[in-house]
C-alpha cells in the first residue's frame, strides 16, 4: 500500500481520519495504530512519514518518487527512527537513546518521526520514559505507535495518542488476492487462515520448513486421535526439534488449531470452511471419530491457552507436554 487511496480500500476510516487532519494541517503528534497482523499498520506509518517529508506531494498523496519518499521506503531516512523489541521487549535504554537522538535538531529539516513497533512490549520503565517524551511534544515530532495488543498499552500513554482502530481483514477478500497473484486454491485457503500479509503467505508456501511443519502437525493429530503412547517421544524427537523458537512454536500451534477446527467443522457440517483438509479425507473422518464436538471445543481452548503461554515466555517443552496431556486426558 503506497498511497492513501490504496489504504482506503482496506482501512477506509483510518485513511479518512489521517488524511483529513493532514489536509487541515493538524496532524496529531502521536498516533496509536491498533490492529491485527497484516491490517496495514506499518504501511500507514510509512505513508504518514512520506506525507510529512515528500517534496512533490500530489494533493494528499506522496509522490513515492522523490528522494525523501525513496529513502523512507528503503528505511534510510535520517529523520525517521524505528524502534522494535530487542528480544522480547522494548527497553528503557532504547527509549532513552531515541530521546537523545531527538534532542538534536533534524538532520535535514526540523521534522522528525519515530515509529514504535510492537509498542505493547515496552517495559514499564520504557513506557514511563516515553511518557515524559509525549508530555513535552515538540511541534515537529510525530510518534507512531503500532500494536496488535492494544490492551497492554498503559492508559497514560494511550490518553496522549490519537487512537486509530484498524479493522480485521476479510479472509475471503485476501483469498481472492492470493489467487489472483497465482497461488493455488488449497494453499490460498490455508494461507488466508494463517496470515494477512501477501509477502508472508508466498514466503511460507514456498518454504520447506513450512511444508515439513504441516506434515509434522498432521502426524501429531494422528497420534492424538489414536491416543498413542508414543506421543511424548514424538514431541521431543519431532516437534521441539522442528519448532525451535517462539515464533515457530506459535506457527505450529496455529496449524494444529486449524486442523482441530476442521475436525470440528466436519462434525457440524461446516465443511465449506475447512482450511487444512478436504471433504472425504480418510484421516479427517478418523479424527472425527476419535473426538466429540464438545471435546474438540475444549481442545481448541487448550491450544489457545498454549499459544498464550508461549507468548508469555513459559518453557516450550512444558507447554507442549501439558497440552498433549490435557488433550489425551
Which chain residues interact with Zn ion by CB under 5 A?
54, 56, 62-63, 66, 69
Q: What's the closest the beta carbon of residue 285 comes to Zn ion, in angstroms? A: 57
Work out the end-to-end distance of the chain between its first and last CA atoms, rounded to an integer number of angstroms.
48
C-alpha cell at 116: 514504535
Q: What's the closest the beta carbon of residue 11 comes to Zn ion, in angstroms? A: 21
Place of cell 505507535: 145
Residue nearer to Zn ion on the CB measure, 65 or 212: 65
Q: What's the closest the beta carbon of residue 57 comes to Zn ion, in angstroms? A: 7
Residue nearer to Zn ion on the CB measure, 63 or 300: 63
Residue nearer to Zn ion on the CB measure, 56 or 318: 56
Q: What's the closest the beta carbon of residue 33 comes to Zn ion, in angstroms? A: 22
Q: What's the closest the beta carbon of residue 106 comes to Zn ion, in angstroms? A: 17
Would you call 228 helix, strand, or coil by DSSP? coil
**In this structure, what are the phi and psi dihedrals at residue 34, rounded to the nearest 5 degrees?**
-120, 130
CA distance 258 to 299: 11
CA distance 115 to 46: 9
Q: What's the closest the beta carbon of residue 185 comes to Zn ion, in angstroms? A: 39
Q: What's the closest the beta carbon of residue 60 comes to Zn ion, in angstroms? A: 12
Would you call 240 helix, strand, or coil by DSSP? coil
Residue nearer to Zn ion on the CB measure, 51 or 94: 51
Residue nearer to Zn ion on the CB measure, 38 or 62: 62
Going by DSSP bridges, is the β-strand pair 80-83/112-116 parallel, antiparallel, or unpaired?
A: parallel
Q: How is 265-287 classified by DSSP, letter by letter?
A: HHHTT-GGG-SS--TT-HHHHHH
Is residue 174 a contact partner of residue 192, using CB atoms and an 8 Å limit? yes
Residue nearer to Zn ion on the CB measure, 1 or 63: 63
Q: How many CB atoms lie within 10 A of CB 68?
A: 22
CA distance 150 to 92: 20
Residue nearer to Zn ion on the CB measure, 61 or 118: 61
Q: What's the closest the beta carbon of residue 169 comes to Zn ion, in angstroms? A: 27
Would you call 33 helix, strand, or coil by DSSP? strand
Q: At what angle do helices 246-267 and 316-328 cross, to 10 degrees?
A: 20
CA distance 225 to 220: 9
Q: How many CB atoms lie within 10 A of CB 274?
A: 22
Residue nearer to Zn ion on the CB measure, 13 or 56: 56
Task: Give the single-character DSSP code of 54.
Answer: -
Amino acid at each position: 500500500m503506497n498511497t492513501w487511496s490504496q489504504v482506503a480500500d482496506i482501512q477506509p476510516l483510518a485513511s479518512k481520519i489521517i488524511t483529513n487532519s493532514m489536509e487541515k494541517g493538524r496532524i496529531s503528534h502521536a498516533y496509536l495504530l491498533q490492529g491485527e497482523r497484516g491490517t496495514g499498520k506499518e504501511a500507514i506509518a510509512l505513508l504518514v512519514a512520506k506525507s510529512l517529508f515528500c517534496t512533490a506531494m500530489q494533493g494528499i498523496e506522496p509522490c513515492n518518487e522523490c528522494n525523501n519518499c525513496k529513502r523512507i521506503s528503503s528505511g534510510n531516512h535520517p529523520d525517521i527512527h524505528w524502534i522494535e523489541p530487542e528480544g522480547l521487549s522494548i527497553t528503557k535504554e532504547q527509549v532513552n537513546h531515541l530521546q537523545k537522538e531527538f534532542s538534536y535538531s533534524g538532520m535535514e529539516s526540523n521534522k522528525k518521526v519515530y515509529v514504535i513497533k510492537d509498542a505493547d512490549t515496552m517495559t514499564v520503565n520504557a513506557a514511563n520514559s516515553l511518557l515524559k517524551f509525549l508530555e513535552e511534544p515538540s511541534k515537529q515530532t510525530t510518534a507512531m505507535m503500532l500494536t496488535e495488543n492494544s490492551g497492554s498499552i498503559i492508559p497514560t500513554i494511550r490518553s496522549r495518542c490519537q487512537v486509530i482502530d484498524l479493522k480485521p481483514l476479510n479472509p475471503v477478500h485476501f483469498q481472492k488476492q492470493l489467487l489472483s497473484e497465482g497461488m493455488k486454491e488449497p494453499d490460498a485457503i490455508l494461507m488466508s487462515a494463517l496470515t494477512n500479509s501477501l509477502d508472508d503467505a508466498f514466503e511460507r508456501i514456498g518454504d520447506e520448513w513450512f511444508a515439513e511443519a504441516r506434515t509434522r502437525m498432521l502426524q501429531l493429530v494422528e497420534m492424538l486421535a489414536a491416543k498413542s503412547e508414543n506421543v511424548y517421544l514424538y514431541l521431543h524427537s519431532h516437534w521441539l526439534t522442528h519448532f525451535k523458537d517462539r515464533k515457530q512454536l506459535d506457527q505450529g500451534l496455529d496449524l494444529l488449531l486449524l486442523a482441530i477446527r476442521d475436525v470440528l467443522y466436519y462434525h457440524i457440517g461446516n465443511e465449506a470452511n475447512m482450511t487444512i483438509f478436504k471433504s472425504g479425507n480418510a484421516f479427517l473422518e478418523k479424527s472425527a471419530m476419535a473426538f466429540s464436538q464438545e471435546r474438540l471445543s475444549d481442545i481448541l481452548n487448550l491450544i489457545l491457552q498454549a499459544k498464550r503461554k508461549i507468548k508469555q515466555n513459559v518453557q516450550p517443552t512444558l507447554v507442549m507436554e501439558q497440552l498433549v496431556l490435557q488433550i489425551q486426558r
